[in-house]
A and B are shown apart, each in its own frame.
Chain A
Amino acid sequence: MTASAGIAEVETIVKRAEERFQAHRNQILRGTDRLFAALMGGQWIFGIVVALAVSPYAWEGKVHAVHIHVWIAVVLGAAISSLPVALALLRPAWVVTRHVVAGAQMLWSALLIHLTGGRIETHFHVFGSLGILAAYRDWTVLLTATVVVATDHLLRGLVWPESVYGILNPEWWRFLEHAFWVVFAVAFLAMLCLRSLREMRLIAERGAELEALSEGEWRRSSVLDRAKFEPAAS
C-alpha cells in the first residue's frame, strides 16, 4: 500500500461522508417540504372554519350577507397556499421552495390574525411558525420569514400605522419593539440549525468510516475463505 493509495482511501471516505450528509439533508428538506404542503392545506381549511365561526355574516339592520372574511379566507387563503404547495410537491428540496414556504407561512400568520379579529393569542402563530420552519435546519429560511414579518409591519406602519400599533403617530422605535421578539426567537433557532447541521455532518462522517471498515473486513474474510478452500479444490 503506497502513500497515494492511503490518500485515495481518505478522500474516498470524505467524499462518501459528503454524499451521506447531502443525502440526509435532502431527505430532511423533502420531508419538511411535504410537512409544510400539508400544513398549508390544513391552515386553509382552518382559516375558512375560523371565518365561518367568528364572522359568518355582515349585517345591515336585520339583513345579512356573507362576510368578506369568509371570501378572504377562501380566496386569499388559497392564493397564499397555492405556490408553496406546488413547489413542495413539484420541486421538493429546492432552495426557492423553502423560502417561499417561509414567506407564505408568515402571510398565514397575518391572515389568521385578521380573521380572528387581532386576538393576542393568534400572534403566537408567528412564533410557532418560526419553530416549525427551523425543521428545515436552514437559518436563511428564518431570515426570510423575519423579513416578511418586518416588511408587513413596515408597510402597514407607513400606510396604516393604527393597524399595527393602534395609534396614528407611533414612536419611531415601536417598529423595533415589535421586531425584537421575532429576532430574539430567530437568533436562537438559527444557532440550533447550525448546531444541527454540524451534528449531521459528524454522523455522516462516522457512517462513512464505519462503512469503509465493514467493507475492509468483508474483503479480508472473503480472501481468507478463498485461500482456505482453493487448495482443497486443487
Chain B
Amino acid sequence: MGCPKAQQSPERLSVPGPAPPAAAPAVDIGRRSGLKFARQFVPPLAISLRGPEPPPGLRSAKLEATGRLRSFRPVLSIGAWALCAVVWAAAVAAGFAVLWRYKSTPADQERPPSRWPAESRLTLSPDRPTLLVFAHPHCPCTQATISEMGRLLARIPDRVSTYVLMVEPPGVPAKWADTGLWQRAAALPGVTLWRDEGAREAGRFRAQASGLTVLYDSAGRRLFSGGITASRGHEGDSFGRRRLLALVDGRPADRDDSPVFGCTLGAHGSPPIQTEALRTQ
C-alpha cells in the first residue's frame, strides 16, 4: 500500500523514513525567524509512519482556502494598462490645470476712488482707518473673504471701523440677500453690516467684484484696495491680507493693491442714495 499522491505533493508532509533520527540535522535554508523553531520539529516528524493520505479535512478549511495564491486572469495586458495610466494622468493633469486657472484668475476690478466719495452714505471714521468689504450675498468665493476677515479682525480689534456691504443688484426680490453669507458676516465682531440696495454704494466706490476690500485713512485717502484671499474662494495666507495688515499697523507695504477673486457684483454705475444701516456692533 502506498501513497503516491502524497509523495508527489510538496505541500504534504509525507514521512517515508524508517526510524527517527537521534538529532535534527543542521540546515541552512535562509534567515527566517522560524527556522530555529522548525528544527525542533524534525525529530517528532521523523518517526517512521507509513499510513494513508491524511484526509483534506485535517487541515482547516481556512488554510486550504488561503494556502494557494488565487491566480487572476489579466483582463488587459501590461501595455494596455500603461496606456490607460498615461491617458488617466493626462486627464487628471488637465482637470487640475482648469481648476487652477479658474482659481487663479482674478475678477475685473478697477481701482476705487483715491478719495472717500462725498456722496457716500457711509460714515468715514474720524479717528481710525475705515475698512469696506463689498460682498455678493450669494457668492461662494466670498465665504473665504469673510473667513479671512474674521482672522484679520481678530488681529486688529477696534483699530479699524469696518463695514461689510451686502450688495443687492437692482430688481432683486425682497430678502434676496438673506443668505448664509449674511449670517456669517453678521457674526463678525465690530462690523457694521449694510444692505446696499440697488448697489448704490458699490457704484460710488466702483466695486465690481465680490470680495473687494478698501481701506481709507481718517482723512479719506485710499490706503489699500484689493482682495484678501490668495485665490478664488480659497482661505489661507495671502499677500493682500499681509499688505492690509501692514498698512493698518503703520508699516510700509510693497504695494497698495491685490487681485480680487469673487463673483461680479453687477453694480457699476448704479444711481446714488438710500442705503440702510441694518446693524451696528
Contacts A12-B10, A117-B233, A207-B63 given: A162-B239 contact, CB under 8 Å? yes
Which residues of B sit under 8 angstroms from A9, Cβ to Cβ? 13, 15, 41-42, 45-46
Determine the chain B residues whose CB is within 8 A of the CB of A22 once the complex forms.
69
Is chain B's interface secondary structure helix, strand, loop, or mixed overall?
A: loop
Cβ of B200 within 8 Å of any chain A Cβ, yes or no, is no
Q: How would residues 210 to 247 of chain B score, 1 for a CB under 8 Å from any chain A CB and 0 otherwise?
A: 10000000000000000000110111111100100000
Complex: A233 Cα to B92 Cα, angstroms: 78
Q: Which of chain A's residues has its CB closest to B3's CB?
A: A219
- B99/A87 in contact, CB under 8 A: no
The yes or no answer to A196 lying at the interface (CB within 8 A) is no
Total contacting residues, chain A, CB less than 8 A? 89
A-B contact count (CB 8 A): 255
Instruction: Kindly identify which residue among B29, B37, B104 contacts A160, using a CB–CB cutoff of 8 Å.
Output: B104
Question: Which of A126-134, A136-144, A181-189, A210-218 lies on the face that meets chain B?
Answer: A210-218
Report the interface size class on chain B.
35 or more
Least distance between A51 CB and chain B CB atoms (Å): 9
Q: Does B98 contact A (CB under 8 A)?
A: yes
> Does A211 lie within 8 Å of B59, measured CB to CB?
yes
**Consensus secondary structure, chain A interface:** helix
A209 touches B69 (CB 8 A): no
Tell me if A11 and B27 are in contact (CB < 8 A): yes
Check A216–B15 contact: CB distance below 8 A.
Answer: yes
Q: How far is the CA of A215 from the CA of B60 in the complex (A)?
A: 12
- Chain A residues, Cβ within 8 Å of B47: 1, 216, 220
Cβ of A58 < 8 Å from any Cβ of B? yes
15 CB contacts below 8 A, A to B, read A13-B13, A14-B32, A17-B34, A59-B138, A59-B139, A60-B264, A61-B264, A96-B81, A118-B233, A163-B103, A166-B230, A166-B239, A206-B37, A216-B44, A222-B52
List 3 A-B pairs, minimum CB-CB distance, nearest first.
Answer: A61-B266, A166-B237, A205-B34
